[in-house]
Structure 1
Amino acid sequence: MPSSTTARVWDLPVRIIHWLFVVLIAVSWWTAENNELEYHRYSGYALLGLLVFRIYWGFAGTHTARFSNFIRGPGAIVEYLRGAGRVAGHNPLGALSVIVLLLLLAAQVGLGLFAVDVDGIESGPLSHLVSFDTGRECAELHEDLFNVLIGFVVVHVAAVLFYLFVRRENLIGAMIHGKRELPSAAVVPQEPFPVVRFIVGVILSGLVVWYITRG
């Protein structure tokens, strides 16, 4: 029987971003449903900052956070579905889920930046760059796409519960404390946390949000 060990697979930024996405998507839904558009706008700005940082961290982060180490082609997905063992970080299906989520959030936030409210009061910070009719179309697409995003979240949660109860893999716990039990052959070498690159990412995200939201 292959030996296994408990290893850290998720760094702190990846875990914090994951749960902030959960919180901010919920906040965005609640504020939209209750017509709290000012706070809805703020939650969108926070999502924008997280997106910028996560994309940056996909190139500058630790091993399992980098896109180059978890994005795979269709062949890897087929092999995984045929019964490939556990891997450190995202499996091929999980990687696909991450990319879809980031694309949906990017489109959702992007549309919100150009959206125009019916009365023009609570419009996105870049709405002045488009016509009123285009801004209204962005607002409608923004609302419709959010329903798609919620549907994706439901599927994602269902998949996590499937892994928990059927495959006996606690992905929720791993995204809290960062550790998973893995075959020894799958464990990746641990690397020092890139503090400087993390600080650069935080500053970059803040500057992007500041520049865009100032209109």
Structure 2
Amino acid sequence: MRKVRVWDLPTRLFHWLLAILVVAAYVTAQIGGSLIEWHGRVGIAITGLLAFRLVWGVIGSTYARFADFVPGPAHLWAHLRGHWSGLGHNPLGALSVLALLGVMLYQAVTGLFSNDEIAFSGPLRALVSSETSDWLSGLHRQNYWAIIVLVGLHVSAVLFYALFKKDNLLRPMVTGMKEVDEADAQPAQGGGALAFAIALAITAAVLYFATGSFIEPPPPPPPAAW
């Protein structure tokens, strides 16, 4: 057995920061009240994280790239028969990651245009009509259940691998290293400083848009007549 570098630091930070922010979004949404403003801030932070991960999935290190772990039918069938071997996400785990990224991106985008029918409005609410905002708000609330189900399946899979297959999936996501017995297993390559800088720059551009910073504020109301 030898240790091989699998997960780079940006991928690990993304994973744990997203987990923390999803919990924070859930808590602030359930409590509501004055915390709904924090719910919106957390949603913007999640939007930035997702933007970073999408870019990193193209220019990051080996096992963080979508091209490496998005499974084809042959890989999925081999995994179901117990014949798949490799580093990074296994084919079923890859499908879980893609599903979670999809529903979280859906939740983040709908939240940017949503409102709570009281005092809160998403940062891009002014770009759509009231009817569209209400519709997107409804989709945002309904998607909550999809997130709960997928997160539950994700956690259950991690526990299953730890308890029944004796494969701790959390340790590599903390240390970045995985013990393997394949002599030809290659450590992750790429995802250096330049790729990280490009991902951060694109993330900053997405956050600029997501916060509505480009939207002109409404003119002040006319002074009251005496």
Q: TM-score range by the shorter chain?
A: over 0.9
1:186 shift after superposition = 5.4
Q: Any gaps of 5 or more consecutive residues in structure 2? A: 216-226
CA-based RMSD of the aligned residues comes to 1.4
2:223 aligned partner: none
Structure 2 counterpart of 1:16, one-letter code? L
2:204 aligned partner: 206
1:136 shift after superposition = 1.2
Q: Deviations over 1:36-63 (max 9, x none)?
A: 1110011001101100100000000000
2:18 aligned partner: 21
- Contact kept, 8 Å, 1:174 with 1:180, in 2: the verdict is yes
1:117 aligned partner: 116
Structure 2 counterpart of 1:66, one-letter code? R
TM-score normalised per structure 2? 0.89
1:193 shift after superposition = 4.8
Q: How does 1:1-215 map to 2 (within 5 A)?
A: 4-35=1-32, 36-119=35-118, 121-185=119-183, 187-191=185-189, 193-213=191-211, 214=213, 215=215
- Mapped to 1, the partners of 2:82 and 2:184 lie a distance apart of 15
- Mapped to 2, the partners of 1:110 and 1:186 lie a distance apart of 42
| SS of structure 2 residue aligned to 1:180 | strand
TM-score normalised per structure 1? 0.93
1:160 shift after superposition = 0.4
1:211 shift after superposition = 2.3
Q: How many equivalent residue pairs?
A: 211
Name which one, 1 or 2, has greater alpha-carbon Rg. Answer: 2
| SS of structure 1 residue aligned to 2:88 | coil
- Mapped to 2, the partners of 1:80 and 1:99 lie a distance apart of 17
190 and 124 in structure 1: CA distance in 2 versus 1, 3 angstrom threshold: closer
- Mapped to 2, the partners of 1:128 and 1:52 lie a distance apart of 22
Q: Any gaps of 5 or more consecutive residues in structure 1? A: none
